């Protein structure tokens, strides 16, 4: 197994290209031990970026993460997200403190606005600025922001000093961000975090002919090929969710998979890149 590939945030912090998602974790206490074990296995394999949110299982996913990282806090990079209605400075601080308590830590490494709501972006930036100054968070970012939203942020004072990343839906089936948002982020050296990188498992079944053919050539799985494609350029972070140890180990193998020019051409033929601007895809 090769060392985990990384990308770098504007502040200089290196983070793994392959992390771990937690959507749907924490919903059933009977699954807690399995979920914690999966996250810990991923950490041991270098997948030390763990993405969660106050929305997931009404805080239950954050509690699972808190249990998984107990005693290993310095080994992980925690990403969590707040509801848009909590984006005012006052409500953001309270939401952050609740998340910190559930996570069992004194700092969230990257705190994201889950999606844009009615709170003015200036107010959101002020809230993030206060949390950064108080060292309750190390970095701030957004999620589900389209290029117009990012343009608006960039026009605000300190907007791009504060916002370092954008988490959006991105996979072989949903490539719309390649037309404008992904180039925008790359130009400003801010990584994209790709949620649902296997389209919630739909790209893992081997039913797509190109994926199946490429997977066979590499002695890999369709899911591994899909993940390898997402992280292929080294500046998009994939956060697949895996609730079992076996699934985590399979995901980890994707980082070592080197797709060839032939592979990429075949994938482009089957999953065409966008030729015009498309609305930002969400779940």
Question: Which of 150, 133, 256 lies closest to 141 in space, CA to CA?
Answer: 150
Here the tokens at position 282 are 């969400």
Prediction pTM value: 0.96
Task: Among 179-183, 199-203, 222-226, name the one with the lowest average pLDDT.
Answer: 199-203
Q: At 283, is the pLDDT very low, low, confident or very high (cuts 50, 70, 90)?
A: confident
Q: Under 8 Å CB-to-CB from 258, ≥6 apart: which residues?
A: 228
Question: Which of 115, 112, 22, 17 lies closest to 68 in space, CA to CA?
Answer: 22
Share the mean pLDDT of the chain.
96
Q: Under 8 Å CB-to-CB from 267, ≥6 apart: which residues?
A: 172, 210, 211, 214, 229, 259
**Residue 69 contacts residue 100 (beta carbons within 8 Å):** no
Q: At 206, is the pLDDT very low, low, confident or very high (cuts 50, 70, 90)?
A: low
Place of tokens 């509690």: 63
Q: What confidence tens digit (pLDDT) does each residue in 147-178 have? A: 999 999 999 999 999 999 999 999 999 999 99
pLDDT of residue 73: 96
CATH class of the domain whose range is 14-202+234-244: alpha beta
Q: Which residues of 209-239 are buried (b: 16+ CB within 10 A; e: fewer)?
A: ebbeebbeebebbbbbbbbbbbbbeebbbbb
Q: At 189, is the pLDDT very low, low, confident or very high (cuts 50, 70, 90)?
A: very high
* DSSP conformation class of 171: S
- What is the distance between the terminal CA atoms of the chain, rounded to a whole angstrom? 33
């Amino acid at each position: 197994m090769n060392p985990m590939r990384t990308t770098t945030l504007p502040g200089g912090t290196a983070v793994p290209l392959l992390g771990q998602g937690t959507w749907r974790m924490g919903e059933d206490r009977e699954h807690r031990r399995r979920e914690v074990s999966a996250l810990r296995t991923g950490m041991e394999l270098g997948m030390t970026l763990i993405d969660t949110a106050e929305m997931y299982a009404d805080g239950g996913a954050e509690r699972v993460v808190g249990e998984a990282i107990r005693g290993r806090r310095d080994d992980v990079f925690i990403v969590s997200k707040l509801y848009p209605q909590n984006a005012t400075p006052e409500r953001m601080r309270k939401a952050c403190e609740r998340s910190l308590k559930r996570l069992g830590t004194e700092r969230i490494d990257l705190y994201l606005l889950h999606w844009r709501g009615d709170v003015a972006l200036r107010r959101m930036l002020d809230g993030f600025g206060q949390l950064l100054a108080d060292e309750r968070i190390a970095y701030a970012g957004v999620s589900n922001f389209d290029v117009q939203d990012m343009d608006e942020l960039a026009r605000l004072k300190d907007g791009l000093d504060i916002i370092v990343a954008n988490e959006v839906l991105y996979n072989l089936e949903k490539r719309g961000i390649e037309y404008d948002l992904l180039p925008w982020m790359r130009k400003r050296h801010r990584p994209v975090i790709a949620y649902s990188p296997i389209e919630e498992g739909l790209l893992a079944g081997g039913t797509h002919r190109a994926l199946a053919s490429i997977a066979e050539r590499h002695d890999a799985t369709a899911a591994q090929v899909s993940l390898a494609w997402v992280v292929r350029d080294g500046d998009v972070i994939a956060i697949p969710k895996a609730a079992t140890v076996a699934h985590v180990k399979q995901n980890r193998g994707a980082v070592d998979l080197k797709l060839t020019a032939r592979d990429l051409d075949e994938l482009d033929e089957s999953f065409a890149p966008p030729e015009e601007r498309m609305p930002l895809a969400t779940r």
